[in-house]
């Protein structure tokens, strides 16, 4: 072996500082949004009757801000800091780093503006419209080039476990984002998904679940593997465990998406795959928790004293809790109770607050004094922050458990002697849990306050710091490996990042391909039914209003095959009913009732009143008012274009239908207004958006009513 000459280099810590500031800013914004929508559920008046302030628009902004703005910037800060040190190399390109930073902040700002203005694809955590999707792809590639370039320039032969997790993150997020965002533009801020119905649902939840896996888990595990040993000054507990839990986690996670669609119209075999892989995921997840917690062995007295370590230890513990609860909720019988309820909301927050916020807090308490060469302003304030956050989170999780289990049980309660639902009015189950909404909002407020304490603490720390020189480091260059196709031990593989990356691609590719491709290429899984016709132009316009207002954040359109559910909502939903749904709108939470078969259930006038003020028809409703639907006109002129795009995606609209779209829509509006006029509505309302929305709502589930249940067929046989 030849000893190479020592090379001198500096780290780019400025970019890390940028990302740290952004993390603090967006974290506060995301949590403020969360607190706002939490109070909106407790008291509907806080929707203020303003378009952009309604829950349906704010909730996607909250989730996107928490995941991509807060956690995202936190990830970039931690990755850029640790990557340079683990590779003994400056980041590949200062220019790319800056493009990455400003590009990402610009994406966040455009996301905020577009989501509040109602531009949304209607797919959870992927709501951003196509121009922003493209921008995300570009910036992500910039990040990847910068990352892999640094890896290429490294002066440390072997790549450390943290970097394995970073590689898995970068590759998988790119694949997920691109595949799920494939859409066909209608206009500058409107597009239709290339997938329809069941396929769209499958791709979306493959994405949605793995956004949790590869945006909120793997990068954070990577950060844990760097920052916990650094902060605790303790060696990592088990290298072997790192290897096994890394590969099993990456391989198994990607299959788990369909557990979001249990009891849905998704083919049973895919649902079952999603469930069993989720259960099998428990041990790999806990492998990470064990390695994190046992690394802290012998450092527990420090954990008591240091807020930094306290946050890290608590983060790993909450990670363990959330990854135990996750597999549990994936088991069909648990899922049948918990799905669509607040239990899931609580589960998600034990992850995003308990794991992501807490780990970021620990990392920031490590990084800020390091980077600014100073001491933390106040450890006492850090302790106070920790306890405020923990109490807030506990209130959050417990209130959501109570709300979720209560509502889940009320939905399914049946009187044994009459066979009737005990709570036939959905609103009874809402009123019962509103007190829990108050508790949750208070818990959330405490979490926000704790975050502001940290911002103040770090601000004071930075302000008190003096000037300092950039440090110069020295290390020898490494010889580039040649002929690196074969390796005997994992340690050798760690010297071959390219092969490593290829293996990661294979690991995430297998599950993705097996679950998704069959439903895309075969009609066997999604049977068409002649009774189901495409939306009329006016219904389509109404559907786009439904998507714009984020109705899916509170209403599902998926009736599960359960007796208590079909008694409440009508026949269970069939795959064939959704073949023209781009995007699908199955929803994930029933803050209000399912509306898959609301069509024809009420007269037009009921909907008219309901959208004006829901309390006119349901006394205790917590739904916002939608007065602007009564003053804004339906955009008829865009309809031919919309139909054309749909036709290009395979919806059977003939050229005549496309040409006559406007006339056809006006005709249908005329019919609806005729019925409304009987109730005293003026004729001039016919061009307003409310009429298009009524057209859409009144067709929901109507055509699918006559499709046979599978079970009745079995009985007859």
Partner 1 sequence: MNEMNEEDKAVLLDHDYDGIQELDHPLPRWWVMSFWGGIIFAIIYFSYYVVGSGPSLQYEYGLDLKHLKEVKKEYLKNLSQFNSDTYHSYSQSPEMLKVGESNFNKHCVACHRDKAAGDIGPNLTDEYWLYAEGTPETIFPFILTGNPSGGMPAWAEMLKEDELYAITAYLMSIQGIEQENPKAPQGERFERIK
Binding residues for partner 1 restricted to 214-253, rule: CB under 8 A: 226, 229-230, 232-242, 244, 248
Site for partner 1 (CB under 8 A): which residue of 21, 145, 174, 280?
Answer: 280
State the nearest-atom distance from the C-beta of 547 to partner 1, in Å.
26
Q: Return the residues of window 329-368 that contact partner 1 according to CB under 8 A.
A: 332
Residue 214 near residue 172 (C-beta atoms within 8 A): yes
SS3 192: strand
Q: How far is the CB of 85 from partner 1 (least distance, A)?
A: 4
- Residue whose CB is less far from partner 1, 317 or 566: 566
Helices (H), 372-465: 379-412, 426-464
Task: Pick out residues in 377-436 that bind partner 1 (CB under 8 A).
Answer: 414, 416-421, 424-425
CA–CA gap between residue 306 and residue 233 (Å, rounded):
13
d(CA 363, CA 342): 30
Q: What is the dihedral of CA 594, 595, 600, 606, to 10 degrees?
A: 90
Site string for partner 1, 115-144 (x = CB under 8 A): ------------------------------
Q: Which is nearer to partner 1, 192 or 569 (CB)?
A: 569
Single residue of 52, 152, 188, 269 touching partner 1 by CB under 8 A: 269
d(CA 598, CA 177): 33
Residue 216: name the closest of 30, 395, 381, 386 by CA: 30
Which residue, 316 or 540, has its beta carbon nearer to partner 1? 316
Give least dist CB 418 to partner 1, A: 5
Q: How far is the CB of 289 from partner 1 (least distance, A)?
A: 10
Single out the residue of 602, 612, 628, 630 in contact with partner 1 (rule: CB under 8 A): 602
Under rule CB under 8 A, residue 600 binds partner 1 = yes
Minimum CB separation from partner 1 for residue 386, in Å?
22
Report the 10 Å Cβ neighbour count for 518. Answer: 15
Exposed e or buried b per residue across 365-390, where buried means at least 16 C-beta atoms within 10 angstroms of its C-beta: bbbbbebbebebbbeebbebbbebbb
Q: How far is the CB of 235 from partner 1 (least distance, A)?
A: 4
Peptide bond into 583 cis (omega under 30): yes
How far are the Cα atoms of 103, 383, 386, 583 from residue 180, in angstroms, in the given order?
21, 41, 37, 11
If 0-12 CB within 10 Å is exposed, 13-18 middle and 19+ buried, where does residue 233 land?
A: exposed
Q: Which one among 286, 438, 456, 487 touches partner 1, defined by CB under 8 A?
A: 286
Among 567, 647, 651, 662, binds partner 1 (CB under 8 A): 567
CB of 711 to partner 1, least distance (A): 3
Of the candidates 619, 637, 656, 706, which one interacts with partner 1 according to CB under 8 A? 619
Which residues are within 8 A (CB) of 602 and not within 5 positions of it... i.e. 6 or more apart?
610
Site string for partner 1, 155-174 (x = CB under 8 A): -x-x-xx-------------
The DSSP secondary-structure symbol of 351 reads I
Of 43 and 620, the one with the shorter C-beta distance to partner 1 is 620
Residue 659 lies near partner 1 (rule: CB under 8 A): no
Query: Under the criterion CB under 8 A, does residue 572 sit at the interface with partner 1?
Result: yes
- Structure-token pair, residue 515: 């679950």
User: At closest approach, how far in Å is the CB of 283 from partner 1?
Assistant: 4
Residues between 575 and 594 with contacts to partner 1, criterion CB under 8 A: none
- Distance from first CA to last CA of the chain, Å, rounded? 76
């Amino acid at each position: 072996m030849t000893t190479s000459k020592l090379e001198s280099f500096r780290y780019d810590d400025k970019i890390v500082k940028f990302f740290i500031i952004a993390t603090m800013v967006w974290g506060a914004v995301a949590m403020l949004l969360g607190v706002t929508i939490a109070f909106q559920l407790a008291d509907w008046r806080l929707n203020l009757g303003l378009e952009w302030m309604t829950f349906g628009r704010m909730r996607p902004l909250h989730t996107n801000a928490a995941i991509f703005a807060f956690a995202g910037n936190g990830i970039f800060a931690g990755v850029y800091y640790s990557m340079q040190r683990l590779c003994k190399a400056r980041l590949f390109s200062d220019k790319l780093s800056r493009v990455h930073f400003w590009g990402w902040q610009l994406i966040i700002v455009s996301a905020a503006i577009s989501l509040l203005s109602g531009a949304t694809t209607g797919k959870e955590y992927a709501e951003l419209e196509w121009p922003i999707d493209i921008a995300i792809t570009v910036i992500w590639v910039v990040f990847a080039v910068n990352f892999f370039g640094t890896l290429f320039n490294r002066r440390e032969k072997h790549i450390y476990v943290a970097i394995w997790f970073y590689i898995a993150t970068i590759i998988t997020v790119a694949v997920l984002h691109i595949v799920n965002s494939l859409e066909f533009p209608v206009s500058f801020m409107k597009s239709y998904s290339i997938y329809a119905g069941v396929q769209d649902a499958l791709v979306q939840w493959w994405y949605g679940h793995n956004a949790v896996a590869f945006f909120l888990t793997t990068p954070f595990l990577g950060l844990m593997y760097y920052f916990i040993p650094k902060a605790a000054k303790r060696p990592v507990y088990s290298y072997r465990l790192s290897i096994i839990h890394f590969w099993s986690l990456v391989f198994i996670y990607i299959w788990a998406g369909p557990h979001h669609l249990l009891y849905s119209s998704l083919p049973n075999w895919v649902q079952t795959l999603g469930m069993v892989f989720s259960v099998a995921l428990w041990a790999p997840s806990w492998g990470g928790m064990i390695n994190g917690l046992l690394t802290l062995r012998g450092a527990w007295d420090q954990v008591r004293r240091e807020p930094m370590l306290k946050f890290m230890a608590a983060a790993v513990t909450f990670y363990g809790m959330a990854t135990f609860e996750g597999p549990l909720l994936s088991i069909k019988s648990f899922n049948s109770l918990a799905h669509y309820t607040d239990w899931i909301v609580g589960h998600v927050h034990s992850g995003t607050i308990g794991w992501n916020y807490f780990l970021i807090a620990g990392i920031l308490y490590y990084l800020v004094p390091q980077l600014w060469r100073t001491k933390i302003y106040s450890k006492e304030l850090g302790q106070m922050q920790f306890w405020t956050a923990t109490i807030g989170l506990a209130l959050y999780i417990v209130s959501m458990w109570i709300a979720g289990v209560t509502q889940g049980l009320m939905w399914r309660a049946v009187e044994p002697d009459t066979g009737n639902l005990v709570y036939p009015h959905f609103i009874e189950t809402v009123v019962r849990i509103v007190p829990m909404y108050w508790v949750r909002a208070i818990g959330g407020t405490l979490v926000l306050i704790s975050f502001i304490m940290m911002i103040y603490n770090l601000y004071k720390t930075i302000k008190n710091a003096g000037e300092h020189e950039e440090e110069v480091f020295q290390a020898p260059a490494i010889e580039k490996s040649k002929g690196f196709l074969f390796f005997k031990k994992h340690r050798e593989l760690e010297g071959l990042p390219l092969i490593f990356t290829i293996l990661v691609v294979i690991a995430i590719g297998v599950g993705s391909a097996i679950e998704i491709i069959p439903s895309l290429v075969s009609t066997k899984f999604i049977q068409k039914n002649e009774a189901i016709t495409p939306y009329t132009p006016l219904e389509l316009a109404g559907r786009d209003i439904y998507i714009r207002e984020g109705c899916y954040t509170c209403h599902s359109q998926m009736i599960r095959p359960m007796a208590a559910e079909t008694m409440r909502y009508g026949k269970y939903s069939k795959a064939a009913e959704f073949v023209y749904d781009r995007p699908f709108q199955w929803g994930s939470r029933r803050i209000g009732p399912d509306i898959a078969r609301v069509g024809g259930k009420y007269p037009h006038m009921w909907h008219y009143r309901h959208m004006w003020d829901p309390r006119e028809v349901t006394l205790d409703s917590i739904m916002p008012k939608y007065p602007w639907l009564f003053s804004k006109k339906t955009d008829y002129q865009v309809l031919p274009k919309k139909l054309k795009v749909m036709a290009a995606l395979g919806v059977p609209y003939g050229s005549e239908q496309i040409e006559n779209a406007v006339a056809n829509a006006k005709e249908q509006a005329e019919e609806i207004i005729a019925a409304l006029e009987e109730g005293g509505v003026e004729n001039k309302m016919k061009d307003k958006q409310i009429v298009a929305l009524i057209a859409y709502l009144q067709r929901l589930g109507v055509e699918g009513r006559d499709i046979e249940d599978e079970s009745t067929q079995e009985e007859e046989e």
